[in-house]
Amino acid sequence: MAARHIPREGETRIPSGCAIAGIMDRSGARHDGTDILKSIALMHDRSNGLGGGFAAYGIYPDYADLYAFHIMYESREARAATEAYLEHYYLCEKQERVPTEDHPAIKNPPDIWRYFMAPHPMRLAASGLDEAEYTMRHVFHINGAVDGAFVASSGKNMGVFKGVGYPEDIGEFYRIADYDAWAWTAHGRFPTNTPGWWGGAHPFTLLNWSIVHNGEISSYDANRRYVEQFGYDCELQTDTEVITYLFDLLARRHGLSQEMAAHIMAAPSWRAIDAMAPENAAFETALRTVYASALVNGPFSIILGSEEGLLALNDRLKLRALMAAEKGPVVYLASEQAAIQVVCPDAENVRSIEGGVPFVVQLDAVARRKQEEAAENRAVRDWPLEHEVGVQPRRRREA
Amino acid sequence: MIETIEIEVTAVAVTGAEPPAAEPPTATRAEVALGLSHFKEANERVRAALARADEVAVTDAHAQRYLGCALPAGKRLAIGGTPGNDLGCYLDGGAIEVFGDGQDQVGNTMNAGSITIHGRCGDAAGYALRGGTILVRDECGWRAGIHMKEYERKRPALVIGGDAGAFLGEYMAGGVIVLGGEPGPYVGSGMHGGVIYLRRPLAADAVTSGLVQAPATEEDVPGLAELIGAYNEAFAGEGPPLPAPDGGWWCLRPASARPYGSLYAH
């Protein structure tokens, strides 16, 4: 296969909206991709065919303990180089092409593979990192240093299916109706500033995190400079990826709850802090001071997926719409209310997500576990093997 | 895909020559089921039905945008399901009634007529409203009544029975907002015309600078009574009615006609 030139982010500017949706069963029961496909398809006109994608949690129960990498290749060489690299650092249990179906609307797709792998025990131990940190670094290496290879997802028991096209076509191309997941998110893209390419479609992922985003991050460069200090290379030049990395930094590395991480990104205004009781004001001031560069500005609505569940967040001024509703254990989220009702006509508790207020949907099992946990974070010294201690210098770019 | 059907309930009975233009069209009813059809096709079918009938029942709406766009006086749309964004945009005298919820930008730049929603609606309801009346039975999203305006006798009104999101009446330049529930923060941010009626006074520090809060006076009663009456009539039996106009309403008005006149001046 000859290498093709596929336009990358930043080469062109295309002026723009987007559609996002999420469906989650809090009981952990799994549902196929039919509903999420129908929900995102209803919002067809919020996308323009330049990107669509889905994140699915709980789809690989047989390999639940292994990292499931979905990787897109633009050339045979890219695959050879990536597989040689992975073979060095991981033990691969299974590798295969992601099943796809020819679709008239999906043009020029990359070669898409998935790998179920465990970190190579000796190399993991030698790295001095925990397995999440170890995996994150290899993801960044592949994305940054292997030309024509892009890791679409790298979590456990989850996967991302995305590409250039309308989301309903992408979903059919990947046959997402064949997968069963307890949480689904979806995105229909209307790129604002950049062309669509397969890697640049949403969801953006790292480890178990996935983000679908409607909006534009005007603080992108400030946030990017901040996360790059901690080894997150923003290779995709797309504002959304930085939100994924902020959640990874604040929640996985700093041990904050996802809700607190979201609160930091959409912190209360100084005027609101001034009006608070002194102890609250002191707390909020400390947060805003320590995490000044993690404040996300601009119009956005996002749905974060993780092993805990979903989290929805609107910017503080609510410049984007996002609706929520529920029916029994199932929670629905969508940019437009009708996109919920089309799959659940008798959905209850229909309401909008407020600006700057994280909307958290946890698996029942996770919620129970959290309730039993102490309110305080565990000190890092008590879990050194699970956590990378200290700030590493930015690693040198190889090749 | 849901099969879409179109039934004309009453056929127009026209025999012989066409009736003279001055004569009002024969009152008829038509029904259009939208299902999952695209908004372009949906609007074409609704417009075709409206050309034949004065009253069109739209059923099974699923987020089709721009329904009832620029609907003229004498025409009526009754909508079942969830109509899409920009419902009744540029409405020009027609009447729209939704038996369900509205999405975002209900009545965007509406000029005249009425929109009645038996449910809630999304963000920016009555965006740049310049005439006519919007009645929303339940709550509404953020920025309801943003950029409402008035000119001489054209004085638009937005009545919301439930709570409102933040920035109610943002940049409001004219017209009337009546809120039955609680407002979110930043009511009337940038407001420089018109009036917002509230059930309860805002805390003093919640009143945006440049606005004056005061109890509604006798001068307010006639206008307020008309809107409250319209709301209570439209939603009779569907929930608690709004209290009488002399029942302790409060109003928010800009302190001066040009509160920002000196903002960018030297």
Whether the CB-CB separation of B60 and B79 falls below 8 Å is answered with no
- What ipTM, to 2 d.p.? 0.86
Task: Give the separation between CA A324 and CA A26, rounded to whole angstroms.
Answer: 14
Greatest alpha-carbon pair distance for chain B in Å reads: 72
Provide, as residue numbers in chain B, all residues whose Cβ is less than 8 Å from the Cβ of A342: 36, 62-63
The distance of A175 to chain B (nearest Cα, Å) reads 18
* B98 DSSP β-pair partners: B79, B117
Map out the domains of chain A as residue ranges: 19-59+157-379, 64-90+102-152
Closest residue of chain B to A323, computed from CA coordinates: B122
Cβ of B103 and A321 within 8 Å?
yes
- Beta-strand ranges (E) seen in A44-110 are 52-57, 67-73, 90-97
* B80 DSSP β-pair partners: B99
Closest CA relative to residue A338, chosen from A49, A45, A50, A24: A45
* DSSP designation for A107: -
Task: Give the separation between CA A96 and CA A108, rounded to whole angstroms.
Answer: 20
Task: Give the separation between CA A175 and CA B121, rounded to whole angstroms.
Answer: 35
- State the pTM of this model: 0.89
Position A383, amino acid:
W
Among B82, B106, B138, most A C-beta atoms within 10 A, so best to mutate, is: B82
Task: Check pLDDT > 60 for residue B160.
Answer: yes
* Other beta carbons less than 10 A from residue A205's beta carbon: 26
* A205 DSSP β-pair partners: A210
Task: Give the separation between CA A308 and CA B20, rounded to whole angstroms.
Answer: 69
B190 touching chain A per CB within 8 A: no
Provide, as residue numbers in chain B, all residues whose Cβ is less than 8 Å from the Cβ of A275: 205
Cβ of A352 and B205 within 8 Å?
no
Burial class for A278, CB neighbours closer than 10 Å (0-12, 13-18, 19+): exposed
B127 touching chain A per CB within 8 A: no
Q: What is the CATH number of domain A19-59+157-379?
A: 3.60.20.10
Among B142, B202, B205, B207, most A C-beta atoms within 10 A, so best to mutate, is: B142
Determine the pLDDT at residue A382: 66
Domains and CATH numbers, chain B: 1-86 (no CATH), 120-266 (2.160.20.60)
pLDDT of A46-86, one tens digit each?
888 888 999 999 999 999 999 999 999 999 999 999 999 99
Closest residue of chain B to A321, computed from CA coordinates: B123
Q: Encoding tokens for residue A229?
A: 């200090």
B62 touching chain A per CB within 8 A: yes
- For A78, phi then psi, to 5°, come to -65, -40
Partner-chain residue, chosen from A45, A341, A350, that has the shortest CB–CB distance to B39: A45
> CA dist A106 to A72, A149, A172, A229, A361, Å?
15, 19, 10, 38, 33
Closest residue of chain A to B84, computed from CA coordinates: A338
Whether the CB-CB separation of B219 and B170 falls below 8 Å is answered with no
Greatest alpha-carbon pair distance for chain A in Å reads: 64
> CA dist A319 to A20, A298, A335, B227, Å?
15, 8, 12, 29
Query: Judging by DSSP bridges, how do beta strands B173-179 and A149-153 pair with one another?
Result: unpaired
CA dihedral (B156, B160, B164, B167) in degrees, to 10, reads 10
The one-digit pLDDT tens for each residue of chain A (399 residues) are: 445 555 555 444 443 468 999 999 999 999 999 999 999 999 998 888 888 999 999 999 999 999 999 999 999 999 999 999 999 999 999 999 999 999 999 988 999 999 999 999 999 989 989 899 999 999 999 999 999 999 999 999 999 999 999 999 999 999 999 999 999 999 998 876 666 688 888 999 999 999 999 988 999 999 999 999 999 988 776 888 999 999 999 999 998 999 999 999 999 999 899 999 999 999 999 999 999 999 999 999 999 999 999 999 999 999 999 999 999 999 999 999 999 999 999 999 999 999 999 999 999 999 999 888 876 766 666 665 554 433 344 444 444
* DSSP designation for A24: E
Partner-chain residue, chosen from B39, B101, B165, that has the shortest CB–CB distance to A337: B101
Q: Give the residue ranges of DSSP H helices in chain A.
A: 34-42, 76-89, 121-127, 131-145, 167-173, 220-228, 239-247, 258-265, 270-274, 278-290, 338-341, 364-372
Q: How far apart are the first and last CA of chain A?
A: 22
The distance of A333 to chain B (nearest Cα, Å) reads 14
pLDDT of B99-118, one tens digit each?
999 999 999 999 999 999 99
Task: Check pLDDT > 80 for residue B121.
Answer: yes
- Active site members of A: 18
Element of type H or E holding B221: helix B221-234
Task: Give the separation between CA B225 and CA A62, rounded to whole angstroms.
Answer: 66
